[in-house]
């Protein structure tokens, strides 16, 4: 494994870091203020300014491996950039590298028809619109995607869509113009061919955003996480992606790179929390000593450094495997990082909160909000337990035949 930065990646790292320091970190307070003023569910002027600046500097769509559309970077090359962007909750969007648009754009690049690309990919790539991914449902255990019940029934040259989704991230934002809806299209087909992904415009009659769901009280405006009702929604048949019954095929392709991005962003946030922890530990004293010299605080700092480094290397290893042997063979490594990175970030942020005392849980520091957002990543894109089960199964599979494994269930 070679994780050395190529000259191209090193140059991009320097430019992305400079952009974050010059424009993004100073804009965090402005963004918060603009969200708090007036309607929280309107896009902020500062974000549009940041996007224009990053685009003008050519720091745009860096996540896309296709060189004609993005920067042409491999997963291993993009990962360190995702880490730098992830050090701020508003960091990825200025570069048009924010979830869920990144995953949705990848889906459209890989599986979209020419017409679908023209209608949705082009404005997404230019940052004119945003998108959402509507899979999870309140009525069923959605960590098992085969449970999805919201239906899409073919009627002539249309789909008739009915059902209720929730945690549809981004659907509260007025810039969100399209959702990738995952629904049941053939209950009689084999288990992994029952569902399809269908493009549903937000303004299709019958689409109703019912409410934003807060996370520990944070509404994450103007992005938000929506409960959405699909009430006799009709869209053209050709809005299906890839083909009827091929939803799981797309899901497999979509999740690998998305997980690397999420994990590296978590590591970026952990790294910034460690910085805050160190600054507080040396800048504040109690009982006649800097906090760093009291109790086990220095150990907390050391543990955080070691855990961050381990998580980063594990994630880069997964990225390297995806680049060299593909998503399927790298499945265990991808599952491993999805458990490790958010848990490490949470532990580091928790220690940073502790050393800040009461300030740590206040809104004067970003730690409480970061904690809330990282906590969701132990659920979003599949809960820890599902990924642990995949890793465990892979390990046991080395010593047991497929048949013996099936028989032992
Ligand atoms: C902030 C946030 C943003 C999200 N964004 C999106 C989005 O944009 N689009 C979208 O479609 N969804 C999104 N989700 C939803 C997320 O992907 C689901 O919450 C997740 O997949 C779990 O589904 P569930 O909530 O139905 O939990 P359930 O399936 O009901 O599972 C509940 C719990 O059961 C346990 N469990 C489940 N399976 C196993 C297992 N195999 N072994 C052991 N224990 C198990 C776990 O502890 C799990 O947490 C988001 C969620 C959050 C919190």
Q: Which atom of ligand 1 is nearest to the CA of 213?
A: 1
Q: What is the structure's pLDDT at 2? A: 83
pTM of the model: 0.96
Model confidence band, residue 237 (pLDDT cutoffs 50, 70, 90): very high
Question: Which of the listed residues 167, 178, 265, 388 should we mutate to test ligand 1's pocket, taking the one with most ligand atoms within 8 A of CB?
Answer: 167
Instruction: Indicate the range of 2-6, 12-16, 34-38 predicted with least confidence.
Output: 2-6
Query: Is the CB–ligand 1 distance for residue 385 below 6 Å?
Result: yes
Task: Tell me how far the alpha carbon of residue 142 lies from the centroid of ligand 1, in angstroms.
Answer: 6
The answer to the question of residue 28 being in a domain is: yes
Query: What does the pLDDT average to over 96-100?
Result: 97
Q: Are residues 341 and 384 in the same domain?
A: yes
Q: What is the structure's pLDDT at 69? A: 86
257: how many CB neighbours lie within 10 A of its CB? 23
The domain boundary, picked from 241, 258, 284, lies at 241
Q: Are residues 179 and 260 in the same domain?
A: no
Nearest CA to ligand 1 atom 41: 386
Q: How far apart are CA 84 and CA 64, in angstroms?
A: 17
User: Which one, of 121, 120, 229, lies nearest residue 171 by Cα?
Assistant: 229
The answer to the question of residue 393 being in a domain is: yes
Q: How far apart are CA 122 and CA 61, in angstroms?
A: 12
Q: What is the structure's pLDDT at 256? A: 78
The answer to the question of residue 121 being in a domain is: no
Model confidence pLDDT, tens digit, residues 117-144: 999 999 999 999 999 999 999 999 999 9
> Nearest 10 degrees: CA dihedral of 64, 43, 167, 126?
-20
Q: Which atom of ligand 1 is nearest to the CA of 99?
A: 8
Q: Are residues 187 and 54 in the same domain?
A: no
Q: Are residues 66 and 171 in the same domain?
A: no
Q: What is the structure's pLDDT at 315? A: 97
Q: Which atom of ligand 1 is nearest to the CA of 134?
A: 11
Quick check: 62 and 12 in contact, CB under 8 A?
A: yes
Model confidence band, residue 1 (pLDDT cutoffs 50, 70, 90): confident
Task: Tell me how far the alpha carbon of residue 105 lies from the centroid of ligand 1, in angstroms.
Answer: 23
CATH code, domain carrying 278: 1.20.140.10
Query: What does the pLDDT average to over 172-199?
Result: 97
Q: Are residues 333 and 309 in the same domain?
A: yes
Q: Which atom of ligand 1 is nearest to the CA of 137?
A: 26
CA distance between the termini of the chain: 36
Query: Is the CB–ligand 1 distance for residue 215 below 6 Å?
Result: yes
Task: Tell me how far the alpha carbon of residue 84 lies from the centroid of ligand 1, in angstroms.
Answer: 27
* Averaged confidence pLDDT in the chain: 96
Q: Are residues 256 and 226 in the same domain?
A: no
Query: What does the pLDDT average to over 360-375?
Result: 97
Q: Are residues 290 and 395 in the same domain?
A: yes
Q: How far apart are CA 140 and CA 17, in angstroms?
A: 42
Query: Is the CB–ligand 1 distance for residue 100 below 6 Å?
Result: yes
The answer to the question of residue 29 being in a domain is: yes
Query: Is the CB–ligand 1 distance for residue 381 below 6 Å?
Result: yes
Domain that holds residue 135: 130-241
Quick check: 242 and 198 in contact, CB under 8 A?
A: no
Query: Is the CB–ligand 1 distance for residue 224 below 6 Å?
Result: no
Residue 66, pLDDT > 80, answer: no
Model confidence band, residue 219 (pLDDT cutoffs 50, 70, 90): very high
Q: How far apart are CA 237 and CA 67, in angstroms?
A: 31
Query: Is the CB–ligand 1 distance for residue 142 below 6 Å?
Result: yes
Residue 96, pLDDT > 80, answer: yes
Token pair recorded at residue 201: 């415009």
Residue 232, pLDDT > 80, answer: yes
The domain boundary, picked from 78, 112, 146, lies at 112
Model confidence pLDDT, tens digit, residues 281-318: 999 999 999 999 999 999 999 999 999 999 999 999 99
Query: What does the pLDDT average to over 5-12?
Result: 95
Number of domains the chain is built from: 3
Quick check: 99 and 124 in contact, CB under 8 A?
A: no
Q: What is the structure's pLDDT at 177? A: 98
User: Which one, of 137, 5, 147, lies nearest residue 77 by Cα?
Assistant: 5
CATH code, domain carrying 188: 2.40.110.10
Residue 238, pLDDT > 80, answer: yes
């Amino acid at each position: 494994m070679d994780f050395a930065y190529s000259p191209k990646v090193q140059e991009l790292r320097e430019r992305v870091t400079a952009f974050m320091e010059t424009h993004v970190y100073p804009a965090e307070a402005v963004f918060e203020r603009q969200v708090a003023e007036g309607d929280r569910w309107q896009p902020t002027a500062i974000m549009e300014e940041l996007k224009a600046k990053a685009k003008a500097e050519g720091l745009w769509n860096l996540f896309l491996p296709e060189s004609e559309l993005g920067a042409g970077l491999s997963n291993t090359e993009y990962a360190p950039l995702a880490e730098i962007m992830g050090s701020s909750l508003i960091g990825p969007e200025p570069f048009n590298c924010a979830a869920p648009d990144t995953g949705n754009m990848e889906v459209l690049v890989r599986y979209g028809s020419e017409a679908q690309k023209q209608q949705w990919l082009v404005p997404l790539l230019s940052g004119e619109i945003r998108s959402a991914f509507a899979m999870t449902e309140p009525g069923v255990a959605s960590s098992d995607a085969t449970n999805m019940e919201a239906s899409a029934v073919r009627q002539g040259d249309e789909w008739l869509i009915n059902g209720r989704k929730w945690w549809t991230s981004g659907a509260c934002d007025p810039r969100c113009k399209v959702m990738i809806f995952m629904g049941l299209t053939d209950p009689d087909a084999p288990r992994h061919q029952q569902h399809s992904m269908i493009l549903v415009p937000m303004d299709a009659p019958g689409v109703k955003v019912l409410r934003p769901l807060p996370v520990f009280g944070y509404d994450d405006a103007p992005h938000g996480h929506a409960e959405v009702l699909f009430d006799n929604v009709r869209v053209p048949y050709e809005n299906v992606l890839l083909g009827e019954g091929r939803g799981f095929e797309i899901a497999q392709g979509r999740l690998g790179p998305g997980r690397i991005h999420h994990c590296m962003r978590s590591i970026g946030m952990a790294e910034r929390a460690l910085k805050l922890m160190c600054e507080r530990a040396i800048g504040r004293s109690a009982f006649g000593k800097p906090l760093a010299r009291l109790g086990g605080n220095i150990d907390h700092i050391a543990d955080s450094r070691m855990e961050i480094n381990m998580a980063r290397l594990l994630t880069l290893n997964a990225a390297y495997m995806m680049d060299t042997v593909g998503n399927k063979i790298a499945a265990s490594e991808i599952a491993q990082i999805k458990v490790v990175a958010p848990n490490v970030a949470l532990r580091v942020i928790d220690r940073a909160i502790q050393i800040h005392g009461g300030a740590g849980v206040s809104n004067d520091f970003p730690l409480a909000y970061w904690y809330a957002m990282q906590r969701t990543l132990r659920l979003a894109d599949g809960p820890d337990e599902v990924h642990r089960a995949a890793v465990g199964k892979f390990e046991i599979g080395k010593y047991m035949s497929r048949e013996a494994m099936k028989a032992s269930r």
